[in-house]
Amino acid sequence: MSQTIKFFLNGQKQQASVRPDMTVLGWLRSAPRLTGTKEGCAEGDCGACSVLIGDPAGDSVHYHAANSCILAMGQIDGRALVTVEGLKTGDLHPVQAAMAENGSSQCGFCTPGIVISLAGLAASTAHPDDHEIHDALAGNLCRCTGYRPIVEAARKVTGAAIPGPEVTAFARMEPQKAITAGGSTFHQPQTLAELLQLRKDRPDALLLGGGTDLGVALADYHADWDEVISLAHVREMRAIGETGNHLSFGAAVTWEEVLARAAGSYPSFATLIRRFGSTQIRSMGTIGGNIGTASPIGDGPPALIALGADVELASLNGRRFMALEDFFLDYRKTELRADEVIASVSIPKPKPGQDFRVYKISKRYDQDISTVCAAFCITREDGQVRSARIAFGGMAATPRRAQAAEQALVGTQFDAKAVEACAAAITAAFKPLSDWRGSADYRLQVAANLAERFWRDVSGETVEVMAL
């Protein structure tokens, strides 16, 4: 078993013999003293700690921004890490030059993170539009400059590569099967069979998707991960598939990858995913992790339940499939057994006559947690509702369907009276909690109102309030 994490740091081969659960931010600022990467919130929210992570993709290297404060050193083994110092090779990187020329920085604390996010955007998109620029910046907080000069600088950059290793170099830097140092062991199975064997042999080891949930505890509470099984390199769980009727996503597919594949089929789901954390969070966080965390306010489950998604659970004893709503048993309790993993999620393709919308209600448009998330899916034939699925997050201890509300729509012409009955059934179905995000009364009222919003949207009466 290796005792060293191996990766590329700013283009050069690097080894680090540290606990694999040390945060990348902690390591960068201590060992190589690359202090351009800042610590702000230490929980994935502010973007001051942003770095670029590179992986081979076909004949090039694909880079995305990530929050190094919630990223463990083990997670960069076999990958390329680029910090703000690594962007400047002789001349300033075009993003750095545009930021400097445009006066886009005042105190400068946020600036390295913003440069990283915009460099990631410039590498993937030659002429980003304002939506893409705003999306790239949604995870970067600037409290003194204001975003106008930053956005203006971003508009001036027309594509720029990230300095880093050639794609061929990754063949000699593959993720290692296991790393152990300082009492922390980090397994990186490459196949589902290897993963399931590890899961059986080590039922207490932590299953790690992208670590955007688990990493917050790592950073905030200095949690120790003594034994981790990372899912990031399990081939079957990184796959996206398609059959005649379904799209399927391996559990370790990131939200950014789900977005790219699902946007054409489910535009409203895509709008929701764009509001899921930030680019940094979506590039690491996985669809399986969002289900595995079983949060009552997770955004994926309500949408997926309303779409009729199934989840596949796998262990050495075989596979089982269930409707996603049946996976959640009670607050943070799920069907998952100690030797099982969530292997994949499969979503039915849109049917003729189907209308789907999902709404996230939160205090802030970007980078915020839902107060209520509501998803509605109906199928109509000759104007009559044949089937309906309605699911909510933030209204109960688990993401939940509102079956009586669905029944209030089925068989109707989807008119005002039916929608009123549906809204009343929603109010009767839930007893939500009051917390600082919203009172129980507020949640009930919003949830019921969203039935009307859905009706008006589908009837063509309303437009997206913010077309971001």
Ligand X SMILES: Cc1cc2nc3c(=O)[nH]c(=O)nc-3n(C[C@H](O)[C@H](O)[C@H](O)COP(=O)(O)OP(=O)(O)OC[C@H]3O[C@@H](n4cnc5c(N)ncnc54)[C@H](O)[C@@H]3O)c2cc1C
How many Å apart are CA 363 and CA 386, to the nearest integer? 35
Interface with ligand X by CB under 6 A: which range of 77-85, 129-137, 154-162, 289-297?
A: 289-297
Question: Dihedral of CA 175/181/186/190: which sign?
Answer: positive
Name which of 382 and 436 has its Cβ closer to ligand X. 436
Partner touching 425 among ligand X, ligand FES, none, CB below 5 to 8 Å by kind: none
Beta-bridged to residue 50, according to DSSP, are: 67
Partner touching 173 among ligand FES, ligand X, none, CB below 5 to 8 Å by kind: none
The residue within the footprint of ligand X, chosen from 77, 213, 310, 457 (CB under 6 A), is: 213
Q: Which two tokens stand for residue 246?
A: 């379904």
Interface with ligand X by CB under 6 A: which range of 77-85, 114-122, 208-216, 431-439?
A: 208-216
Question: Dihedral of CA 35/6/139/218: which sign?
Answer: negative
- SS3 call for 437: coil
How many Å apart are CA 311 and CA 141, to the nearest integer? 35
Partner touching 289 among ligand FES, ligand X, none, CB below 5 to 8 Å by kind: ligand X
Q: Show contacts with ligand X in window 232-261 (CB under 6 A).
A: 251
Q: Which two tokens stand for residue 298?
A: 């997770």
Residue 120 interacts with ligand X (CB under 6 A)?
no
Pairing mode of beta strands 310-315, 318-323: antiparallel
Name which of 61 and 303 has its Cβ closer to ligand X. 303
Residue 113 interacts with ligand X (CB under 6 A)?
no
Query: Rounded to the nearest whole angstrom, what is the least distance from the CB of residue 20 to ligand X in the complex?
Result: 14
Name which of 42 and 358 has its Cβ closer to ligand FES. 42
Name which of 340 and 406 has its Cβ closer to ligand X. 340
C-alpha distances out from residue 48 to 120, 170, 327, 414, Å? 15, 28, 36, 48
Partner touching 356 among ligand FES, ligand X, none, CB below 5 to 8 Å by kind: none
- SS3 call for 47: coil
Query: Rounded to the nearest whole angstrom, what is the least distance from the CB of residue 67 to ligand X in the complex?
Result: 7
Name which of 102 and 106 has its Cβ closer to ligand FES. 106
C-alpha distances out from residue 172 to 95, 156, 237, 265, 311, Å? 31, 37, 23, 38, 36
C-alpha distances out from residue 226 to 21, 80, 144, 289, Å? 8, 24, 40, 19
Name which of 94 and 298 has its Cβ closer to ligand X. 298
Beta-bridged to residue 178, according to DSSP, are: 187
Interface with ligand X by CB under 6 A: which range of 28-36, 169-177, 282-290, 395-403?
A: 282-290
Site string for ligand X, 16-55 (x = CB under 6 A): ---------------------------xxx----------
Binding site for ligand FES (CB under 6 A): 39-42, 44-49, 67, 69, 105-111, 142-145
How many Å apart are CA 341 and CA 319, to the nearest integer? 10
Partner touching 164 among ligand FES, ligand X, none, CB below 5 to 8 Å by kind: none
Residue 406 interacts with ligand X (CB under 6 A)?
no
Interface with ligand X by CB under 6 A: which range of 10-18, 28-36, 196-204, 286-294?
A: 286-294
How many Å apart are CA 405 and CA 22, to the nearest integer? 48
Beta strands of 246-403 (E only): which ranges? Answer: 246-250, 310-315, 318-323, 328-330, 333-334, 341-348, 354-361, 372-381, 384-393, 400-401
Residue 11 interacts with ligand X (CB under 6 A)?
no
Sites of contact with ligand X (CB under 6 A): 43-45, 206-214, 216, 231, 251, 276-277, 281, 284-286, 288-290, 292-293, 298-300, 336, 341-342
